[in-house]
Structures are given as C-alpha cells and as structure tokens.
C-alpha cells in the first residue's frame, strides 16, 4: 500500500541521534578495510581483498572503481549500495563535462555523492546508504585530493585515511608514519601497503592497490608488483630490527 511510504525511517531520537545513520556506520565498520594516501605527485588507494570461495572468479569483485579519467574511489560497507553511488557519480562526471566543458574537480564529485547520501537520510521510506567512501584524484590544475564520505552525507578532506574493519588501527598507524609532502611516489605507495599489512592477514596476496599519477590514468597494480613492494617493506623491517 502506498501509505507505508509516507513515513520517514530516519528520524531523530530524543537525544539528537539519527539512529539509522549510526547503524549504517556500524555496517561500514563490518566492511573490508580500505586505505587512501595523498602524496605530492601520486594518490593511492588500497583495499583488503575479501577471501573468495574456491569456485568463485576472483576478478568480478572490484572494490576500487574509477569515476572519470581524473578521479577514482574505494568504499567500505554494502557493495550493492556502493554500485548505485558509483553509477550515479560516473553519470554526473560526464554531465559536468557536458555542461561546463571541464572535468569535474574531486571536491565537486565528492560533494555530489555526499548530497545523494544526505538526501537518503531525509526521504520517505528510504534508508541511508551503508557505505563510506574514499575518493581520490587530481583536479584540472594538478592538485591532488583525498576525500572521505560517510553514510550521514558529510565529507572531509584528508591527507591519509582508512575506512572499514580496523580503520582505527590503520589510522593510528598512518598518523604515526605519514610525512608531509612525500615527494617520492614509492614512499607513498609503500605507506599505503604498510598500513594495510597491519590488519590484513597473510600479506600481499590479499591486497588490491590502485595508483594515479598526475596527468595519467588510474593504474591497478598487478599482484607481482604488490609482492615486490611487500618484499621491500619486509627487508626494511628486518634492517630496522
């Protein structure tokens, strides 16, 4: 009956919380970890690959999606919800190019995604999206950006951040090890991998990594390349201890 759709699901509690939004954030905390690092000339997104069943094709589960030539994102939470957001964002990137004759800035598309999420916290019969996303890329003028959005529809810019399972641990690691204006691309990539290794079991083969250098398109690193970085990291660790 149409009547059941005219009541809002997300309403305020007596102490000012939007419980549905809070619960959505719990769903995000159950998702696999994603980490993002903004370097000076490269932006990196890494995700924890979920362990697939023996008969399942590994390649169909992609948690890092490109939104346009200059922006890509990773998410944590409900994969189905993320698919919707990614589709809308991709269309909006092209619409922006059509009406403004310029690629969308990372901030613009982040703002767009956040306003979709907010709309769903204030609509009849709808529940909030159960995802947080990390959106990275370069603007038209070459500045790198990393933004994080959450189910409530807020967004913030970050130098490095993590979302999903054990996000707190990873974030603390990043806070300890992030250096301002990392010139070297390798250092930025290594930091993302090291951060993920803190929480991912059994090392390199459960990590998926994507990088984007200024004026280049997004590149997913192959398994061998990731293994190379992991080996280099292990060697450095041995040297220190």
Partner 1 sequence: MNEVQNYGPERKIEFLHGTTTLAFKFQHGVIVAVDSRATAGAYIASQTVKKVIEINPYLLGTMAGGAADCSFWERLLARQCRVYELRNKERISVAAASKLLANMVYQYKGMGLSMGTMVCGWDKTGPGLYYVDSEGNRVCGDLFAVGSGSMYAYGIVDSGLKQKDLTVEEACDLGRRAIYQATYRDAYSGGQVNLYHVHSEGWNRVSQSDVLMLHQQYQAEKA
Residues that bind partner 1 (CB under 8 A): 98-102, 105, 108, 111
Residue 13 vs 115, nearer CB to partner 1: 115
To partner 1, the closest distance from the beta carbon of 48 in angstroms equals 35
Residue 53 vs 98, nearer CB to partner 1: 98
To partner 1, the closest distance from the beta carbon of 67 in angstroms equals 17
Residue 32 vs 105, nearer CB to partner 1: 105
| Burial 36-65, CB ≥16 within 10 A → b, else e | bbbbebbbbbbbbbeeeeeeeeeeeeebbb
To partner 1, the closest distance from the beta carbon of 140 in angstroms equals 9
To partner 1, the closest distance from the beta carbon of 104 in angstroms equals 10
Say what the alpha-carbon torsion angle 178, 73, 204, 186 is, to the nearest 10 degrees.
-40
Residue 49 vs 97, nearer CB to partner 1: 97
User: 86: burial class by Cβ within 10 Å (0-12, 13-18, 19+)?
Assistant: buried
Residue 66's CB is within 10 A of a number of other CB atoms, namely 19
């Amino acid at each position: 009956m149409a009547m059941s759709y005219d009541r809002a699901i997300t309403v305020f509690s007596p102490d000012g919380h939007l419980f549905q939004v809070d619960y959505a954030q719990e769903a995000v905390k159950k998702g696999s970890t994603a980490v993002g690092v903004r370097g000076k000339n490269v932006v990196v997104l890494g995700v924890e690959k979920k362990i697939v069943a023996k008969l399942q094709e590994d390649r169909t589960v992609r948690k890092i999606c490109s939104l346009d030539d200059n922006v890509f994102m990773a998410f944590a939470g409900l994969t189905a919800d993320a698919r919707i957001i990614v589709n809308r964002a991709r269309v909006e990137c092209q619409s922006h190019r059509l009406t403004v004759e310029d690629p969308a800035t990372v901030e613009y598309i982040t703002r767009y995604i956040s306003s979709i999420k907010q709309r769903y916290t204030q609509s009849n019969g709808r529940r909030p999206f159960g995802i947080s996303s990390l959106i990275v890329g370069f603007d038209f003028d070459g500045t790198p950006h990393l933004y994080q959005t959450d189910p409530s529809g807020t967004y913030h810019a970050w130098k490095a951040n993590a979302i999903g399972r054990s996000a707190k641990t990873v974030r603390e690691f990043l806070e300890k090890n992030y250096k301002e204006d990392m010139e070297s691309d390798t250092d930025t990539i290594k930091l993302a991998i090291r951060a993920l290794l803190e929480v991912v079991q059994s090392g390199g083969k459960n990590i998926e990594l994507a990088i984007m250098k200024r004026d280049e398109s997004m590149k997913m690193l192959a398994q061998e390349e990731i293994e190379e970085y992991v080996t280099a990291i292990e060697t450095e660790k041995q040297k220190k201890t």
